[in-house]
Structure 1
Amino acid sequence: QLAKLPVLQRQVYDLVLKTTLAMFAGPYEYTETTIITQVGEALFKSVGKVPINPGWRRLFKTKSVEQGKDTLPEVTPGQTVQAVLTTPTKQTTPPKPFTEGTLITAMKTAGKTLDADEAAVLKDVEGIGTEATRANVLETLKRRHYLVTNKNELHVSGTGVTLCQAVALEPLLTSPSMTAKWEIALKEIGKKKRTPENFLGQIKLLIQKLLKEVPEQFAQNAYLQTQLVAQQQVEQKQQAQAAVGVCPICKTGEISDRGKFYGCSNYKNGCKFTLPKQWSGKKLPISAIKQLIKTGETAQLKGFKSKKMGKTFSAKLKLEAGKLRFDFN
């Protein structure tokens, strides 16, 4: 009857039979062994297992089982062996980019890279930040375009690289040990070994020191200055490509997509003109935005929704003194 079974069914039967027999077979016994092999003046260390009794593994005799990567041959101390030395040629691969999940985990386990005392403190507080703040930190970095997401992977933007290099001028700002020291100070406050005023006073002095030194260090770094100018040129080019029109208020700035709204490139010089992407429950098409900027009003638009009644209606949009309103004429 077994011979009449199809090949796949015989293989399944054979696997079930061997697994059942293995439950009652003797144990696989081995010694964990370290072998030191001397070649000239060099010592080579091998760690693995030397089988003594195959036990249940006898039922699964395959090349991969008999010659596992962790299996060593049986040798005796002082035995002479023939050594063949080769230099492997390999190519390194870059580490995998962080995802939001793996980066948050790295923040949580930051204490592993510190010395024993500081690591113990960060282990107690679970690394840098808290469960509630770590995700917010990443969102802020993305919102300010220091981090960009591509296929669920996080990458540092050109602006982010410039920021990292600028911050690196002051090692205190990049050291996880600073978090550890602050946590130690907070514990001392809890034990009444330090006052809150003392702690806040030291932080105030640190901030004043950083505000004075970092801009000066940045200004004196020719490489960073060149990189900043190049980055600004790239951003200006990107803004120009993404611009939807000339600002109707300041007449010199460009209106472009700012994420959740459209804004003027002259905002640093005081122009506060913005346009929403959504108005009364309707997502405004880019054609309507361009028309508003160019002529001050749109054609009749459908799909607005009343907040009070919940009914949809149609209307024009009009700009008056930089403010958006409905025009039902």
Structure 2
Amino acid sequence: MSKSLYIAEKPSVAQEFAKALKENMGRRDGYVESENFVVTWCVGHLVTMSYPEKYDIKYKRWSFDTLPFLPDNFKYEIIPSVSKQFKIVGGLLNREDIDTIYVCTDSGREGEYIYRLVEMMAGVKDKKRKRVWIDSQTEEEILRGIREAKDLSEYDHLSEAAFLRAKEDYLMGINFSRVLTLKYGSSVTNYLGGKYKAISVGRVMTCVMGMVVRREREIRDFVKTPFYRVLAGIEIAGTHFEGEWRAVKGSRYFNSPLLYKENGFKEKKDAQYLIEQMQENLPLEGVLEKIERKRENKNPPLLYNLAELQNECARLFKISPDQTLQIVQELYEKKLVTYPRTDARVLSSAVAKEISKNLNGLMKYPLAEPYLKDIQKSESYKKIEKTRYTNDKQITDHYAIIPTGQGLQNLNHLSGLSQNVYEVIVRRFLAVFYPPAVYQKASLTISKDGERFFSNFKVLKDEGYLKVTKYKAQDLTKDQILVDTLSKLKKGAVLPIREFNVKEGETSPPKRYTSGSMILAMENAGQLIEDEELRAQIKGSGIGTSATRAEILKKLFSIKYLALNKKTQVITPTLQGEMIFDVVNASIRSLLNPELTASWEKGLTYVAEGNISSDEYMTKLESFVTRHTKNVIGLKNEAPLRRCFDRAAANYKTPKKQTK
């Protein structure tokens, strides 16, 4: 009798599939089996790419003579520590009574790669293969994934992209790390002191390191510039507010070289002179030249993808992106949330149609209950499919991270931090079913002696979705009184001015990246875009993927190229990192270019979509590696680099402290 084999990426996932199949499963060594089914698992990667010396022993010794290293056929090998499980899985894949293989590894490029490597090394032939693609580990979703499983061949382009990604990282890592180490390794080690160190570079991590180093140097080179604003204290019906002077058209200072900006002088004496001029012309009062009143609606933010959630958790809980990923992966495996490694921030139309199931399940979560009553009363969930929170075109592999409404019995067994992250996900999810927050805004233009002062007020009139997201209510009572008072004013009204004063300000340096803001900058190809809606409009693969960005940062910390302040999550370079930056900048500068690095990732997306072939991509890759490797070999720039090292070292106490 023939059987079906289900192969998952991890034992815990295999366990959920075994439960969903609802047959009496007998425990075996490395798998479980019933009358109709066999369920087994990988333990992450079982197969890896071989080191160069496995091609030829001559490659074990690092030498310019053996570079660039570009094998015609790549070699792979079983990872020794998991060889036993590989033998078990490989044996099951080739067992005669297995006629259909259901591939249940994580639904993404890396999950596809994990299975395809095992299949390749096991030499699987003449088997029907189906791909299970799921968005959560609930029983309902697992059974749907099995029921709707497509032929594995439909994912061949995704598999090609996965193999290419690994080859790209392998070829760039080996060739560039070896050539730079051979060329500059002694110089770096001698300068830092201590044990000899190889120079480690990579397609993504070197670019990320470069972003941090450049930002640090911008901060160092920044010179604060003071400027001086002129403010008027204006009185209305017993309350007062400030108006800010600006040198707009009609001002005696319009386009004046004395200005730092439209609203400030370079020198304090010029600001004081303006005040003296206006104080000479009594009475001290201004005319309301213009008043604008309008309501402003602020919509709930889009749902979380992994990058947004990592940024939020870094801000709220001061945890690293890697910690956030571990927590949300745990929530996923406990059936509490949907698949976490996603770039999408919207729902699919299919999910939107059945979103009431998620909401009903959350009735068992006490925190959500009052909000769910509001949602049920408004019936807003029935309209979610027609809002900006549902968009099939913005989804590639998976929709946004949302609570499943299931697995709540597992919540109390999780850490307090995991429970907090779950709460954040639930609140963001519930918020999209609430109306916008409504603000009342008022803008005033007040004229005095041909000069104009501007005031803006914003009052929250209806909290809308802010009720769900635990916003910190501002003290807006004073503004509320003012807005109420202003509503009675008319153009031409004369307003008493109590006083003028000068307020000193100064320009600010760029902010250092935090672990969370770096993840967002990576997602947006090096651009730290803080505006939530603007980020949503920018499409592109960015630097790395949602599945790899946290790991890349973690590696940069572990090799001590970057340092992380765990309390603040602020990232800074080490001296060693700055020196490697200088080395790369003087040799393979394009590795530091975020746009170019993102273009490689975009190319992989084109392969996955079938728009370009693997051969086209490999030709471009091999040309890039060959050109830059040969260029480095011919460089003679060690002396100028020493001066770069000296400049960087001046900002650190001693080089040796950086390498401990």
**Larger RCO, structure (CA 8 Å, separation 6 or more):** 2
- Normalization by structure 2: what TM-score? 0.24
The TM-score, its normalising length taken from structure 1, stands at 0.43
Report the structure number with the largest CA radius of gyration: 1
